[in-house]
Amino acid sequence: MFERSSGILLHISSLSGKDGIGTFGKEAYEFVDFLKRSNQKLWQILPLGTTSYGDSPYQSFSAFAGNPYFIDMEELVNRGGLNREDIDNADLIGHKEYIDYEKIYNNKLALLKKSYSNEAHNFTEEIKKFVEENSYWVEGYALFMAIKDKNHGLEWTKWEKKEKFAYIKTLRSLKEELKEEIDYYIYLQYLFYTQWEKLKRYANDNGIKIIGDLPIFISGDSADAWLKTELFLFDEDKNMKVVAGCPPDVFSKDGQLWGNPLYNWKINRRRKYSWWIERMKSAFSMYDIVRIDHFRGFESYWEIPGDAKTARNGRWVKGPGMELFKAIKSELGDLPIIAEDLGFMTKEVEKLLHDSEYPGMKILEFGFGGGNDNGYLPHNYPKNSVAYTGTHDNETVVGWNQNIDQWQRDYARNYLRDYLGWGEVTDDNIHMAMVEGVMKSKAILAITPMQDFLGLDNRARINTPSTLGNNWKWRLKGDELKNDLANYISDITKRYDRF
Q: Which residues pair with 448 in a beta bridge?
A: 8
- Residues sharing a CB contact under 8 Å with residue 291, sequence separation 6 or more, in sequence order: 44, 211, 212, 213, 214, 337, 338, 339, 340
Whether 370 and 431 have beta carbons less than 8 Å apart is answered as no
- Taking only the tens place, the pLDDT of each residue in 14-45 is 999 999 999 999 999 999 999 999 999 999 99
Q: So what's the pLDDT on residue 198?
A: 98
- Residues sharing a CB contact under 8 Å with residue 429, sequence separation 6 or more, in sequence order: none
Per-chain mean pLDDT for the chain:
96
Q: Lowest-confidence range among 286-300, 375-389, 415-429, 461-475? A: 461-475
Q: So what's the pLDDT on residue 156?
A: 98
Residue 487's closest CA among 21, 101, 40? 40
- Taking only the tens place, the pLDDT of each residue in 47-80 is 999 998 889 999 999 999 999 999 999 999 999 9
> Which of 119, 155, 393, 480 is labelled catalytic?
393
- Taking only the tens place, the pLDDT of each residue in 320-352 is 999 999 999 999 999 999 999 988 789 999 999
Cα dihedral 230, 233, 236, 241, rounded to 10, equals: -170
Q: Which residues pair with 291 in a beta bridge?
A: 213, 338
Q: Is 340 a catalytic residue?
A: yes
Q: So what's the pLDDT on residue 469?
A: 86
Is pLDDT of 251 > 80? Answer: no
Is pLDDT of 465 > 90? Answer: no
Query: What residue spans of 44-137 are helical by DSSP H?
Result: 73-79, 84-88, 101-103, 109-119, 124-133
Is residue 382 very low, low, confident or very high in pLDDT (cuts 50, 70, 90)? very high
Residue 99 CA: distances (Å) to CA of 96, 106, 469, 477:
8, 13, 12, 11
The average pLDDT across 156-167 equals 97
Helix (H) or strand (E) holding 189: helix 179-205
> Which of 213, 340, 341, 365 is labelled catalytic?
340
Q: Is 235 a catalytic residue?
A: no
> Which of 221, 293, 365, 436 is labelled catalytic?
293
DSSP letter (8 states) at residue 246: E
Share of residues in the chain with pLDDT > 90 (%):
93
Cα–Cα dist 293/340, whole Å: 5
Is residue 93 very low, low, confident or very high in pLDDT (cuts 50, 70, 90)? confident
Edge-to-edge order in the sheet of strand 256-261: 256-261, 242-246, 300-305, 315-318
Model confidence, pTM: 0.97
| Other C-beta atoms lying within 10 Å of the C-beta of residue 158 | 11
Residue 171's closest CA among 223, 133, 130, 124? 223
Cα–Cα dist 194/75, whole Å: 11
- Taking only the tens place, the pLDDT of each residue in 203-250 is 999 999 999 999 999 999 999 999 999 999 999 999 999 999 999 987
Q: So what's the pLDDT on residue 458?
A: 98
Is pLDDT of 188 > 80? Answer: yes
Q: So what's the pLDDT on residue 421?
A: 97
Q: So what's the pLDDT on residue 53?
A: 82
- Taking only the tens place, the pLDDT of each residue in 297-319 is 999 999 999 999 999 999 999 99
Q: Is 348 a catalytic residue?
A: no
Cα 136 from chain centroid? 22
Q: So what's the pLDDT on residue 171?
A: 98
Which burial class, exposed, middle or buried, applies to 398 when counting CB atoms under 10 A from its CB (0-12, 13-18, 19+)? buried
Residue 369's closest CA among 451, 250, 467? 250
- Taking only the tens place, the pLDDT of each residue in 411-435 is 999 999 999 999 999 999 999 999 9
Q: So what's the pLDDT on residue 172?
A: 98
Whether 130 and 138 have beta carbons less than 8 Å apart is answered as yes
